[in-house]
Amino acid sequence: MVELFAGMAGSGDPEDKTGFDDYVKGVNEHYNSHRKIKMPKVVKKYMNVSWGVAKVMAVVLLLAMLAVQTFCRCV
């Protein structure tokens, strides 16, 4: 819904946007203030970074274990 209003705000005559811009800003502020909206944004923003770090650490750990297995054959 907010994307619809944001898209509509870009079209039209610039002098004709007296109260419409305020209305769109109010709708956007109301939409972004809800917990159902805030939490997924926070998770998306910060979890992507931590998952990337976790993946790199898993690869490094796997390579280290493979190196230990290769050089320390006990069989």
**CA 6, CA 44: separation in Å to the nearest integer?**
22
For the chain, what are the domain ranges? 2-71
**CA 53, CA 39: separation in Å to the nearest integer?**
21
The larger pLDDT score, comparing residue 66 to residue 43, is at 66
The predicted pLDDT at position 60 comes to 97
User: pLDDT class for 66, splitting at 50, 70, 90?
Assistant: very high
The model's pLDDT over 5-62, given as tens digits with 9 standing for 90+, comes to 666 655 656 566 667 888 888 888 887 777 777 788 788 888 777 888 899 999 999 9
CA 4 to mean position of chain CA atoms: 20
The predicted pLDDT at position 6 comes to 66
SS3 70: helix
